[in-house]
Amino acid sequence: MSDDNPHSTNGSSSKSWASRLLQVFTGEPKSREELVDLIQDAEERDLIDNDTKEMIEGVLDVAELKVRDIMIPRSQMVTLDINQGVEEFLPIVIDSQHSRYPVVSENKDHVEGILLAKDLLPYGFNMSEESFSLASVIRPAVIVPESKRVDVLLKEFRSQRYHMAIVVDEYGGVSGLVTIEDILEEIVGEIEDETDHYEDSKAAIRRINKSRYSVKALTNIEDFNQYFDTDFNDEEYDTIGGMVAHGFGHLPQPGEEITLENIVFKVTSADKRRIQQIQVTFPQRHTAEDDG
């Protein structure tokens, strides 16, 4: 059979695939909503998978966010005092297991610099009260306003090669901090490392950003209600995972989400028998923690 046959199966298949791809990405959407619809359509046509769709939507979301929307609030900042001795600050570093710490004097409005935990390694067991001071190892702190666009900050993180910035309000007071990981999690979802597992073993509910939380599925509904000031019924189900599974009507897979009482519950981890981890998002949520 000639390769020029217009009815060739391979040629038809390739043409069909290309046409579908062009249809999705050259539809000239006139609004963000139309663009989101096209991305959804692309997933339904199997042109992209669910993970890719969520990443694209994450990029679109980041383009509309300000630093204030994703920063770690002042009240949750783990800081070191520049006048602390080794015996005072080292337990904080070991317990919190962060890689970077704002170093302050007087209070959190006076940031003197940033300590990178790895900068302590060269001192090893020779670190002593007499020969060591935080002032000698801290690096300059990067300061950004609350109103800075997140996508712009991400470009600066990459080009200037720093990973943390101190966030200030319009009056110059420190309102929080933001890291490159906070931005990436808005795009690709929660990023877990060894430290996250350590924290999860201590806390059933962990804050990701201003309106999003990671919650263990076995968290009691009573504890969930107390933490978030919600009013879910705990008479029929004991855990938040059981309540969410009932809402789905089936055992959901990672990536599936459901909205209950205007709160979005997204399954981030599950096996063949039960839900393990849930991401909880509160639209337009404002808490006392944000006022720091």
Q: Do the domain assignments include residue 1?
A: no
Quick one: average pLDDT of 139-168? Answer: 93
- Would residue 249 be called left, alpha or beta, if left means φ above 0 and alpha means ψ between -120 and 50 degrees? left
pLDDT tens by residue, 30-53: 676 777 777 778 778 888 777 777
List the beta strands (DSSP E) in 106-196: 107-116, 143-145, 164-168, 174-179
The answer on 75 and 54 residing in a single domain is no
Q: What is the pTM of this model?
A: 0.55
Q: Is the pLDDT of residue 219 over 80?
A: yes
DSSP single-letter state for residue 84? -
In a domain, 4, yes or no: no
One domain for residues 94 and 120 = yes
Q: Distance between CA 51 and CA 256 in Å, rounded?
A: 11
Whether residue 285 lies inside any domain: the answer is: yes
Q: What is the CATH number of the domain that holds 234?
A: 3.30.465.10
| Same domain, yes or no: 35 and 61 | yes
**Could you list the residue range(s) of the whole structural domain that residue 23 is in?**
9-67
pLDDT tens, position by position, 245-292? 999 988 888 888 999 999 999 988 877 677 888 989 987 654 444 444
Domain harbouring 82, CATH code: 3.10.580.10
Is the domain of 59 the same as that of 145?
Answer: no
Question: Which of residues 161, 185, 209 is at a domain's end?
Answer: 185
pLDDT for residue 215 is more than 50: yes
**Residue predicted with more confidence, 40 or 154:** 154
238 and 156 co-located in one domain = no
Same domain, 96 and 172: yes
Q: Is residue 162 part of a domain?
A: yes
Question: Does residue 267 fall inside a structural domain?
Answer: yes
Four-point Cα dihedral 208, 214, 219, 224, nearest 10: 50
Domain-terminating residue out of 67, 83, 100:
67
Report, in angstroms and rounded to the nearest whole number, the Rg of the chain calculated over CA atoms: 24
Does a structural domain hold residue 3? Answer: no
Residues in the chain: 292
Same domain, 110 and 167: yes
Residue 224 has pLDDT above 50, yes or no: yes
Residue 95 lies in a domain: yes
Q: Are residues 229 and 285 in the same domain?
A: yes
Total domain count, the chain: 3
Same domain, 171 and 123: yes
Q: Is 80 helix (H, G, I), strand (E, B) or coil?
A: strand
The reply to whether 224 falls in a domain is: yes
Q: What is the pLDDT of residues 68-90, one digit of tens each?
A: 888 888 877 889 999 988 888 88
Rounded CA-CA distance 44/39 in Å is: 9
End residue of a domain, out of 17, 48, 67: 67
DSSP per residue, 226-262: HHHT-----SS-SBHHHHHHHHHTS-PPTT-EEEETT
- In terms of domains, do 60 and 76 share one? no
What's the pLDDT band for 176 if we cut at 50, 70, 90?
very high
Q: Are residues 204 and 250 in the same domain?
A: yes
Mean pLDDT across the stretch 198-202?
A: 44
Let me know whether 199 and 262 are in one domain: yes
